[in-house]
Amino acid sequence: MLGTDVCTAGAAAGNDIVALPRDTLDITDAALVHAAVRRAAPHVVVNCAAWTDVDGAEASPQAALAVNGAGAANIARAAAACGAWTVHVSSDYVFDGAKREPYVESDPVGPLSQYGRSKLQGERLVAREAPELHTIVRSAWLFGLGGRCFPATILRLASEHDVLTVVDDQIGCPTFTAQLASALLELARDRVPGVVHAAAGGGCSWFAFARAIVERSGASCEVRAGSTAELGRPAPRPAYSVLATERATEVPALPDWRDGLARYMEAVVAAR
């Protein structure tokens, strides 16, 4: 999903893009990664590969670490070996959600889940393997046209059901991948070092996000508020993970999440 948008934005900006999908390059294979990066001889490597199954990571923590930790390290190491800059995408799930104001880059991390721990491990390994050649970009609640995402699921369920119950006790920043992709390329162009936060402006609950999706679609489905506890999901989620940046002069500002949703819905309608 994000990778597709990075390729689109990169090509539109006049960059030569080498895109390697999972069936072409397994990032957990260090030798393959080194060979692929050496062959491409890039100026920048943007790592959009990730284990994103939050609940699945609870049952398979080593598999999640192999992708989000060691896999990220393989990419950063290979990129650094040829002098390329690494842009690594991380997550709001590195925080515990106990805060009630937006998290900034200097806030202490404390992931609650195996997924969050694997993403934090990835951050640390990227920084170790490419100490002078990386940007680590924390973002949140990604949605876009190139893959499965929350709005697509809500649109499908709203067409099948009269009532949906969605949790209202998790607050975050729904971020449209097309907008994040452009920010990643700017960060790469400017070679902004270290950890930065790049997520949509504002914040909302999954319930508020779902209600906005249904309203924009014109569906007659009713959206009701529920609780995380009622779902009984294996992995704990941060209750509050809105991201902000204390590096505003270096990090491109993304639009409000409602703007991203409007663009997504326009694209969905146009594709019908």
Q: Which band of pLDDT confidence, cut at 50, 70 and 90, is reported for residue 231?
A: confident
In tens, the pLDDT along 4-15 reads 999 999 999 999
Question: What's the distance, CA 238 to chain centroid?
Answer: 15
Its pTM stands at 0.96
Q: Is the pLDDT of residue 272 over 80?
A: no
Contact 254, 183 (CB under 8 A): yes
Token pair 């990604």 is found at 142
Token pair 């199954």 is found at 53
Calpha distance 142→23 (Å, rounded): 22
Calpha distance 258→204 (Å, rounded): 10
**Degrees, nearest 5: CA angle 123-180-3:** 75
**Selected catalytic residue, list 93, 103, 115, 240:** 115
Question: Taking the CB of residue 246, how many other CB atoms lie within 10 A of it?
Answer: 14
Q: What is the pLDDT, as a whole number, of residue 47? A: 97
Superfamily of chain region 2-271: NAD(P)-binding Rossmann-like Domain (3.40.50.720)
- Between helices 30-40 and 72-81, what is the axis angle to 10°? 40
In tens, the pLDDT along 31-83 reads 999 999 999 999 999 999 999 999 999 999 999 999 999 999 999 999 999 99
Q: What is the pLDDT, as a whole number, of residue 265? A: 96
Calpha distance 114→94 (Å, rounded): 10
For residue 115, indicate whether it is catalytic.
yes
